């Protein structure tokens, strides 16, 4: 019997010049990873820690970039 493993994704925070660390996360699919990246971008912007030119790059388990979520695509949540 084969056990099911959730796909692993990495989040890289880029500011246009440097890539900051990486965080390994588990999601059901890339759309779930994208939603989490959007939430993370909102939180970072709300805390005044990021700027519109920053982005989160989502990479697969082999660390190949598969999608980028630009901070300019989100607005900090009201609240």
Nearest to 22 by CA among 33, 11, 38: 11
Q: What is the pTM of this model?
A: 0.79
Q: What is the pLDDT of residues 8-36, one digit of tens each?
A: 999 999 887 777 767 789 999 999 999 99
* Whole-number CA gyration radius for the chain: 13
Whole-angstrom distance, CA of residue 25 vs CA of residue 36: 10
Q: What is the DSSP letter of 73?
A: G
Q: What is the pLDDT of residues 39-77, one digit of tens each?
A: 999 888 888 777 778 999 999 989 899 999 999 888 655
């Amino acid at each position: 019997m084969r056990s099911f493993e959730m796909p692993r994704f990495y989040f890289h925070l880029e500011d246009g010049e440097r890539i900051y660390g990486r965080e390994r996360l588990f999601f059901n699919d890339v759309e779930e990873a994208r939603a989490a990246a959007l939430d993370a971008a909102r939180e970072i912007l709300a805390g005044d820690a990021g700027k519109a030119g920053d982005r989160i790059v989502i990479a697969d388990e082999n660390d190949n970039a598969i999608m980028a979520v630009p901070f300019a695509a989100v607005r900090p949540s009201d609240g």
